[in-house]
Amino acid sequence: MYKTKTSKNNSGKNRGKYKTDSKRRKGSGFSSRRRSNGRRGANTPKLDISSFIKKATTKVKTVEKFIPKYSFDDFPFNEVLKGNILKKDYHQPTPIQDQAIPIVLAGKDIVGLANTGTGKTAAFLLPLINKVFLNKNEQIIILTPTRELAVQIEEELRSFTNNMRIYSTVCVGGTPIYRQISKLKRPNQFVIGTPGRIMDLVKRKVLKLDSFKTIVLDEADRMLDMGFVNDMRFVMSKMPQERHTLFFSATMSETIKLLIKDFLKDPVSVSVKTQSVPTNIDQDIVKINGKNKIDILEKLLINPKFTKVLVFGRTKHGVEKLNKELSKRGIKTESIHGDKNQGQRQRSLQKFKENGVQTLIATDVVARGLDINNVTHVINYELPTTYDDYVHRIGRTGRGDKTGKALTFVD
C-alpha cells in the first residue's frame, strides 16, 4: 500500500501515516491546462481523477490465446532476413504483424491502429527490409514524433539487417546537422527522422525525396498532437504522387481521418487496438494534502519494491530541478527532456535501461513508443494534460505479461 499523509481531521491513529485513496470520488474532475511545450492547438478535456484508480485484474486462464494465420517462415522473406528473425527469438507473429505484413508485402497502403508494445515496428520494418533487399535502389523514409523513437527504430532495423548490406541514417534535432548531411551523401536505403529536421534537410536541398517511393508515418496521432501536421504535409508533397504509404496511429480522431484521406490511396485498415489501459497495471492516486511533494516522492523511492521507476513531470525546467534535488538526497536518477541534446538523452535513457540508475525523470517525450523493459512503477509527479497522455505514460510499465503499478500525485 502506498501512503500519503492524512489530514488533521483524521483520527489520531492515522495521523502522520501515509496512505492512498482508492475510493472513487464524485465531483473530483479537474480541467487540464494547455501544454506549453509544443502541443499546439491541443484540446483540453476534463480529466476525472477516479479514472486514475483501478486495481490490476487477475489474468483468467481460460482467455483465448491468439493463433496467428501465418508463421514467419510463411512470408516470402529472403533467407538471410529469416535467419536474423530467428536470431532475435521471434517465433510467431503478433496480431499486428500477422495482419499487416501481407498487406505491406503486396504493396498496398495501410492504416494500422495499434497500441504501443504490440510489435508494430517489426510489422512495417520486416516487409520493407525485404523490399529493399530485392531492390537496393529502393529508398524509404520513416517519420516519427520523437528522437528517441527514431533511434529505437534504427536499432531494431540494424538487428534485422545483419549481413544484408542495407544502410540507414537517423535525422533528428538535438544533434549537429552537419553530421547528418555528411551521412546523407552516402547511399541510404532508410532515412528515419522527426518531421522538423527532415523538412530542414529537404529545404537545404541535402535530402531529395523525389526518389523515395515509400513512407512510414509512425505514431501519426502524436505527430499531429505535437504540431507537426504542416511538416508532414511538406515532406509528402516532395515525394512522388505514386508512392507506398504506411500510416500507424494509436487513436483515430476526425483529424486523423482527414489526414488518411489526404495522404493514402485506397488503404487497407488493420486494427488490433486493445483496451486503453492494460488490465495488468495497478493504478492509484497519492493524495498530497498540501505536504511537500518531493518528501513524499523520496519516501516512495526508498521503498525496495520501487526498483525501476519512471517519474513524469510537465516542464523541462521542473524535470531538471526535480532530478537535481533527488540526486542530492541520494537517489540514483537521470533526467530526459527537450533541453538536453540527443547524446545526453540517449545516455540517460541507456543508463535507465541497463539499470545504472533507479529512476528516470522525464517529460512526455518518452511516453510514447519507447520499449523499456521491467519498469516496476510509473509515477505521475505532475498531472498529464489529457487522458491519452496518461494512458501512454503508464503504458511504460506492465509490459507483456508483467504486472505494473502506476501512481498519480493529486493535491
User: Considering the entire predicted model, what is its pTM?
Assistant: 0.70
Per the CB < 8 A criterion, the answer to whether 174 and 195 are in contact is: no
pLDDT higher than threshold 60 for residue 5? no
Which superfamily does 72-271 belong to?
P-loop containing nucleotide triphosphate hydrolases (3.40.50.300)
Locate 37 and state its grid cell: 511545450
User: Could you give phi then psi for residue 110, rounded to 5 degrees?
Assistant: -140, 140
Q: For residue range 345-386, list pLDDT tens digits in order.
A: 889 989 999 999 999 999 987 666 667 889 999 999 999 888
Q: Do domains 4-59+279-410 and 72-271 have the same CATH topology?
A: yes
Tell how strand 214-217 and strand 168-171 pair up. Answer: unpaired
Per-residue pLDDT of 65-119, as tens digits, reads: 678 899 999 999 999 999 999 999 898 999 999 999 999 999 999 999 987 678 8
The answer to whether the beta carbons of residues 100 and 124 sit under 8 Å apart is yes
Contacts of 368 (CB under 8 A, 6+ apart): 116, 145, 146, 149, 219, 222, 250, 392
User: What is the structure's pLDDT at 243?
Assistant: 96
- Model pLDDT, residue 67: 86
217 and 263 Cβ atoms separated by less than 8 Å: yes
Question: Across 4-8, 96-100, 224-228, which has the greatest mean pLDDT?
Answer: 96-100
Selected residue with higher pLDDT from 258 and 53: 258
Average pLDDT value for residue range 388-395? 83
Among the listed residues 259, 246, 249, 206, the one whose alpha carbon sits nearest the alpha carbon of residue 368: 249
Helix (H, G, I), strand (E, B) or coil at 5: strand
In angstroms, the CA 81 to CA 100 distance is 17
* pLDDT at res. 95: 93
> Do residues 399 and 373 make contact, with C-beta atoms less than 8 angstroms apart?
yes
Among 129, 119, 127, CA closest to 66: 119
Fold designation for 4-59+279-410: Rossmann fold (3.40.50)
Q: Transcribe 205-267 into DSSP letters.
A: TSS-GGG--EEEETTHHHHHHTT-HHHHHHHHHTS-SS-EEEEEES---HHHHHHHHHH-SSP
pLDDT of residue 46: 57
E strand or H helix that includes residue 393: helix 387-394
Return the domain boundaries, the chain: 4-59+279-410, 72-271
pLDDT at position 121 over 80:
yes
